[in-house]
Amino acid sequence: MIIGVIADDFTGASDIANTIAKGVEPEGGLRTVQYLNVPPHPAAPDVEAGVIALKSRSIPAGEAVAQSLAALDWLLAQGCRQIVFKYCSTFDSTPEGNIGPVAEALARRLGVLGVVACPAFPDAGRSVYMGHLFVGDRLLNDSGMEHHPLNPMTDPDLRRWLTRQSTDPVGLVGWPVIRQGAGATRDALAEAAGRGERLVIADAISNDDLLVLAQACAEARLITGGSGIARGLPRNLIRAGLARGGRPAVDGVDGAEAVLVGSCSRATRAQIERHRAGHPVLAVDVDAVMEGRLGPADIVAFVDAHRGAGPLVYSSSDPDRVAALQETYGREPVAHALDALFGEAARVLVAAGTRRIVVGGGETSGAVVTALGVTSFRIGPEIDPGVPVLVAEDGSGLGVALKSGNFGGEDFFARALDALAGAGRVAA
C-alpha cells in the first residue's frame, strides 16, 4: 500500500476512494479498497490505496483523535508513504472539532508542519477562495449547511473556524499563490511551516488548482481535505513509477433493493420528492420512533411489500421540524434512535436477501454499513460526482451506494439502484 486515507465518515470515504480509483486521464487511478474501521488484518498485497472509513466526524474530539491515530498506525504498518485525512467538502465540524484536533494529532505524530487543509470539491460546487468556503454561489453559512442537524456551519471563514479548533497557528495559501503553480505553492507551504503554522488553509476554485496542490504536495507525508485534494495524487505516484495506473472493474450485483434516507439536507429532500413521483415512499414518524411505537420491523414490512418497485424510507425533515424534534427529544437521542432504526432495518433486510442498498446521509450510511458487518468494499463505477458503486469484497454479492447528504442529481436514488444492478457490466 502506497497511500493511506483516514476518512471521518463513510460517505466521505467512498467519495475519496472513488477519486483515487478514478485518478485523472491519461494515467488513471490506483487499486483502491475501502475498509470500514481499522481492519484486524493486513491489506491484500495488491492494494495500492487503502481508505479507512471511520465514523469520527461527530463524536467527542478525544475519541476521534484516538481512532484516527490507530488508523494511522495501521496504514503506516502497511507501508504507506503518504497519508490523507479526509473530511467533508463543507468542512463539517463544530468549534470544538473534530477537524483541527485530528489533523494536528496526525501532523504531530508524523512530525510535520505546513500541512495543507483544503475542502474544495469544484465538481460538487465547493470552492475555497481567500480561505472562504463557497457552495455554488453561496458562502457556506448561507448554503443550507447552517441548518445541519449535527454540525451547523455558521462561519465560511475556514481559517477562523479551524483556529477555534486548533492549538497551533493556522495559515493560508491564497489563490494568487496557487495560480502561480506548484513551485510557488510548495514554497509558500514551507514558509508557513517555518512560521510554525501546522495547518494551512489552501485555496482551490477549479480542478486545475487541485492538481497544482497535489503536485506541490507530492512529497508531503500528510495532506488534509475533501476528496478533491486527492485528484492529482495517483498521477504523482504513477509518474514516479510507484503505481501501475489504469481503471478498476467490479463484479455485478443483483437482487432486491431498498433506499434508506436519514439526511435532512436540501439536496436530499429534493431527491426524495423526485423519487416519490414514481416509486413507493414511506416517511418515518419520528415521534413514533422516539416513543417506541415504530421500529425496524415496520420499515422491513414496507420494503418487502414494495420489492422491485424501488421502495424508499426516510426520516428526513425540513429545518423547522428537525429543530422541533431536537428540542423535544435532544439532538443526540434523535440522531442515535434514527441511525439505529435504519441500521437494524438494513441488517434484517440483507439477512433476508436484499442485495442493493442505497443510503442517503453520512451518519446514516455509517450506521447502516456497520450494522451489515461488511468489512471492505471494492470501488465500482461513479454514479454521480463523489458517489461510486461499492461491492462487498466478501463475495456476498452485496452492492451499496452511500450518498453524502449534499451530493447527487435529483433522480439520484433511482439511478443509483440501476447502477448497482448494472455494476458488473460497467467498468469503473
Rule CB under 6 A: which residues touch ligand LB5GJZVW?
9, 11-12, 15, 88-90, 121, 226-227, 361-362, 386, 404-406
Q: Which does 338 bind (CB under 5 to 8 A by kind): ligand LB5GJZVW, ligand ADP, none?
A: ligand ADP
Q: How far is the CB of 118 from ligand LB5GJZVW (least distance, A)?
A: 11
Residues that bind ligand ADP (CB under 6 A): 149-150, 262-265, 268, 286, 315-317, 322, 325-326, 334-335, 338-339, 361-364, 404-405
Least Cβ distance, residue 53 to ligand ADP (angstroms): 13
Q: Compare residues 88 and 300 and give the one whose CB is closer to ligand LB5GJZVW.
A: 88
Cβ within 8 Å of residue 53, ≥6 positions away = 7, 9, 10, 12, 13, 14, 34, 35, 36, 37, 366, 369
Name the residue with the smallest CB distance to ligand ADP.
405
Q: Which does 19 bind (CB under 5 to 8 A by kind): ligand LB5GJZVW, ligand ADP, none?
A: none
Q: Judged by CB, which is closer to ligand LB5GJZVW: 272, or 300?
A: 272
315: partner contacted, choices ligand LB5GJZVW, ligand ADP, none (Cβ within 5-8 A by kind): ligand ADP
Which of ligand LB5GJZVW, ligand ADP, none does residue 364 bind to, with CB < 5 to 8 Å depending on kind?
ligand ADP
Minimum Å gap between C-beta 63 and ligand ADP is 17
CB of 402 to ligand ADP, least distance (A): 9
Smallest gap from Cβ 34 to ligand ADP, in A, equals 17
For ligand ADP, give the closer residue by CB, 138 or 247: 138
Give the one entry of ligand LB5GJZVW, ligand ADP, none that residue 227 binds, where binding means its C-beta sits below a cut-off of 5 to 8 angstroms depending on kind.
ligand LB5GJZVW
| Cβ-proximal residue to ligand LB5GJZVW, closest one | 362
**CB of residue 386 to ligand LB5GJZVW, shortest distance in Å:** 6
- Measured from the CB of residue 313, what is the shortest distance to ligand ADP in angstroms? 11
Q: In this complex, which beta carbon is closest to ligand LB5GJZVW, that of residue 311 or of residue 386?
A: 386
Q: Which does 264 bind (CB under 5 to 8 A by kind): ligand ADP, ligand LB5GJZVW, none?
A: ligand ADP
